[in-house]
Amino acid sequence: MIYASLPALHKQGSNEDGVLVLWRGDAFVLLAVADGMGGGPNGEDAARVTLQALVRAVEVQGCAVDVLSALDGANAQVQREYPGAGCTVAVAVIENDNQVRTYHVGDAAIFWVGGRGKSKYRSTDHGPVGYALASGFLDEHDAMFHPERHFVTNYVGSETMSIDVGPPIQMLARDTLLVCSDGVTDNLFSDEILNTVSVRPLGDAILDLLALVAMRTREEHGPPIPHHPDDVSVILYRFS
């Protein structure tokens, strides 16, 4: 497992992403990325509150974690202490039988990639463009350059927040989980992500992924090359 969180290139302000990795012996591993929503106040605080809620849930329960209750609690706390703030979040919990359960709110993303680079699961971004892409009304190229791509309808801090629970995933040898902020998915097409993380050693994969994102954000491009400067956070986990 390997992870990184980097501030955006050519973008003012602090890094509003947060990364959490919790390992509880043989019980489970929890991976989470929270992305403070730009354009609003206290996005970094919303991300911090959300990850701290997950930590508290583990501390209370020890060998288990109630992700749904933790995110519900974080949502209430953000509304109470930081009105108007918000963040997106993606969580994966890997249990000792190598079964994974995923949870996400917004457009922080989760990929499950097979050892030969085949996509086995990809979370759906919570917004009109994400839903249109998932339903086939938009292809990935059109979605990448859609003017409403960054419009998110579901986030921690919202009175109407909902949590998307993914299907149970049974990881096989050389399967890889990628948990990331939208700084990755806004700058790289799915095939680029899959090809980068599936066959390389994890250390090489994360360096190559970050280098590719940096190249895209360094200079402004137009279609067919995306250019969306943003904070970038990545966790890679491989079962071997």
Looking at residue 189, its pLDDT comes to 96
Question: Which pair of structure tokens corresponds to residue 129?
Answer: 């463009």
The CATH H-level (homologous superfamily) assignment of domain 2-238 is: PPM-type phosphatase domain (3.60.40.10)
Looking at residue 65, its pLDDT comes to 83
Cα 104–Cα 137–Cα 231 angle in degrees, nearest 5: 40
Q: What is the dihedral of CA 45, 48, 50, 56, to 10 degrees?
A: -130
Looking at residue 63, its pLDDT comes to 65
Domain ranges of the chain: 2-238
pLDDT tens figures, 4-19: 777 765 555 677 899 9
Looking at residue 62, its pLDDT comes to 67
pLDDT tens figures, 51-104: 999 999 988 876 678 999 999 999 999 999 999 999 999 999 999 888 999 999
Q: Enumerate residue ranges in the chain where pLDDT < 50.
A: none
